[in-house]
A and B are shown apart, each in its own frame.
Chain A
Amino acid sequence: MAQAIFDEMGAPGGEIRQAYKTLQAWLGETPPEILTLRREEAETFFRRIGITFAVYGEGGDPERIIPFDIIPRILEAAEWRQISDGLIQRVRALNAFIADVYGAQEILKAGIVPRDQVILNDTYRYQMQGVSVPHNVFTHIAGIDMVRVGPEEFYVLEDNCRTPSGVSYMLENREITMRLFPDLFSRYNVAPVDHYCDELMRTLTSVAPRNCPGEPTVVVLTPGIYNSAYYEHSFLADQMGVELVEGPDLYVMDDIVYMRTTQGPKRVDVIYRRVDDDFLDPLSFRPDSALGVAGLMSAYRAGNVNLTNAVGAGIADDKAIYTYVPDMVKFYLGETPILKNVPTWRCSEKADAQYVLERLPELVVKEVHGSGGYGMLVGPKATKEEIEAFGARVKAAPEKYIAQPTLALSTCPTFVDEGVAPRHVDLRPFILSGKDIKVVPGGLTRVAMREGSLVVNSSQGGGTKDTWVLKD
């Protein structure tokens, strides 16, 4: 699918797009030395605050800084409106889907999603069958990964319905941009993002469990300081003014969850957990987990505590299920999907698998359960040997793979060693669902810092950018 790469500022030598005119002028009047200096200041800021993400077991610095690109990405109000409406629609459908597969299973009965794809899926938690949750919301905090290929063309690449991370970067990036470039910032009318944590807190309190005795006590549950997103966990707890707890800080007695405090036990009502399902409760899931709380599931089912995101929400972001999301929008909401999916071949289907194997050099092939950019093949960038090796893996277990065309991801001006140059980006906005559903105008823009690279994952050397949504 060879298509021209869309640059969000405008092709070199061509017309500069409206939103970027002021930025372009500012870049013209700002010498590169100043940009270099500002980039160093940004790095110092990140180190000092300790905004790091942990990479263990690879040698080198265990606490790394995600490269921060100092040039913001800019989205027009009208562009954002379309994205935002589409996101809200999509997340409503995803929540309806999760509620359905653990409840009446209408969509399976209607034959729209194959039953086996759901029931036999590793992410399907039979323990959640028949469990009712407040407002029927399962994915309270969703991160939807999007890419852009043209002025009007946005695609959803992936839904993250379990414990999406990155929102702290959205907030810290804004903070640092305002600090480094107050003059540029003031020339634009940028919609604020800093109320995100208030909205998050409101969302969490709005889903207090049915047996909550009063004003709900909210906590953030982290696997601990060695988790790659630990900074974010502590950041969110801090901003919301709630306790950041680890598994051993909590215990369950008579189906009620308590935290151990300096004044004895205190009841906990809502747990924003950043611990995966598998580790949540050794009595229900992995018995060797030291990160979880024994008896938590029982308290959850009894309606004495609520977990966000809900256990089992991962069924909705499985890469095999992804292909059915547009159908979910039609089935549950009776609406036409605003956001498009990337065309996807499911290798579980014979014809698709054959098509994919014949065209490996053109396609992106992903493991259905992989994440973080591991276990994937980017056909056009791979060597012959890599393609052959990957092809053998697909042949051995086709049901584990899906394939998509290599999209010509849009580029944004990025400050790299060569100067300001276009680099590929994606976008992860965050959608909050409780009693109401909200999207803060912005998101995390990830950028592939290497020329031509399409891999934006931070674990693979990708960086981030501040994302500005303009007000009308």
Chain B
Amino acid sequence: MMLARTADSLYWIARYMERAENLARTLRVTDRLSLMPSIADADGSEWHSTVVVSGSESGFYEKHEEATPENVISYLAFDPENPSSIRSCIETARRNARAVRTALTTEQWECLNSAWLELPGWNEARVRGSGLHRFLDWVKDCSLLFTGGTVATMLRRDSYYFTRLGTFIERNDNTARILDVKYHVLLPEHAEVGGGIDYYQWASILRAVSGYRSYNAVYREGLKPWLIAEFLIMREEMPRSLISCSAEIKECLDKLGEEYGQRHECHRIAGQLYSRLRFGKVEDVFRQGLHEFLCDHIEQNDRLGMEISRSYLLG
């Protein structure tokens, strides 16, 4: 048993750190794609898509007219007015950490505190050119250190499961969004007309979730759009796939249910979300419509987050 506020903070610390990492991954892939003139010419909207993936489209266009690389990096990485910018994520995570530091292990705290102490050293000027990659790597490292520190040092009880729930709810959402923004290049009919450009697009989706080499290790037959979709939706060995995230969420909730001796609506939704992926087929997903499927998944995941909050956190 723990304070609801403490559980809520742990959950959000993990969500914000995961969000920062996913933003960093997405920005990195976008930057890479934009270096390829063929893609930049054919479709200048890479930076726009990045804004869409991050879910901050309306906020961005209130402030900026055009999705230029500078504008997007500024808004998604550093803008204090964007509550989901990398900077805001790290600051919010650390503020939450300070409020619940007794519930964190020393390793977790020091990781978040160091990230926060080093953050002012990064700014738009410093990330110009090759600085961008160093910055994004740093963000990724901070998040990985936090996640690793969590797994390696936290007692396996409620506080741990709330932290992990934050990570996987956020990751579930992010993987689905990355897929959804590019769903059109993954449709089977699209493959017929696909050329070199699509190949880079497919590879970029995989890279955004650290899945490029893993994909090749699993399939060994080159990039096929429907296999990429299957890989990121239904393969349990892929740790950022929708099914993996959903399985982890279900497991965390099961552990909480055991520890507290009570189950809630969130348990039902989590079970449903997982079994749909576990027993579904990728062909059915395409038949239903990839976009429709992903939208529904994002919506269910949102609902799940709200139910978790209602049952355990601050409502």
Seen from chain A, the residues whose Cβ lies within 8 Å of a Cβ on chain B are 47-50, 224-225, 230, 234, 237-238, 243-246, 248-249, 259-263, 266
Contacts and interface: CB of A to CB of B under 8 A. Distances in A.
Given A48-B113, A262-B158, A262-B260, A245 B99 contact: no
B101 interface: yes
A230 to B, nearest CB: 7
Interface of B: 1-7, 95, 98-102, 109-110, 113-114, 117, 158, 162, 260, 262, 312-313
B260 A245 contact: no
Name which of B95, B98, B158, B313 has the most chain A CB atoms within 10 A of its CB. B98
Given A259-B3, A262-B1, A237 B102 contact: yes
A261 B114 contact: no
A263 B99 CA distance: 20
Contact of A238 (B101, B110, B158): B101
A225 B113 contact: no
A458 B6 CA distance: 30
Contact of B98 (A230, A237, A261, A266): A230
Nearest to A240: B102
B104 to A, nearest CB: 10
A384 to B, nearest CB: 43
A48 B262 CA distance: 39
Contacts of A49: 110
B260 A263 contact: yes
Given A225-B95, A248-B5, A259-B3, A50 B102 contact: no
Nearest to A241: B102
Given A47-B117, A48-B114, A50-B113, A261 B1 contact: yes
Given A230-B98, A234-B102, A237-B102, A249 B5 contact: yes
Secondary structure type dominating chain A contacts: mixed
Contacts of B99: 224-225
Nearest to A246: B5
Given A49-B110, A246-B5, 14 more contacts: A47-B117, A48-B110, A50-B113, A225-B95, A234-B101, A238-B102, A245-B3, A248-B5, A249-B4, A260-B5, A261-B3, A262-B3, A262-B260, A263-B262
Given A224-B99, A237-B102, A244-B102, A263 B1 contact: yes
A225 B117 CA distance: 17
Contacts of B1: 261-263, 266
Contacts of B6: 243
Contacts of B95: 225
B6 to A, nearest CB: 8
Contacts of B3: 243, 245, 249, 259-262
Contacts of A263: 1, 260, 262
B1 to A, nearest CB: 5
A234 B9 CA distance: 15
A50 B98 contact: yes
Nearest to A266: B1
Contact of B2 (A234, A237, A248, A262): A262
B195 to A, nearest CB: 53
A353 B4 CA distance: 55
A42 B109 CA distance: 18
Nearest to B110: A48
B132 to A, nearest CB: 28
A49 B102 CA distance: 12
Contacts of B109: 50
B2 A261 contact: yes
Given A48-B110, A50-B109, A50-B113, A225 B98 contact: yes
A157 to B, nearest CB: 33
* Max count, chain B CB within 10 A of own CB: residue among A47, A50, A238, A245: A50
A249 B9 CA distance: 13
Contacts of A245: 3, 5
Contacts of A224: 99
A266 B260 CA distance: 14
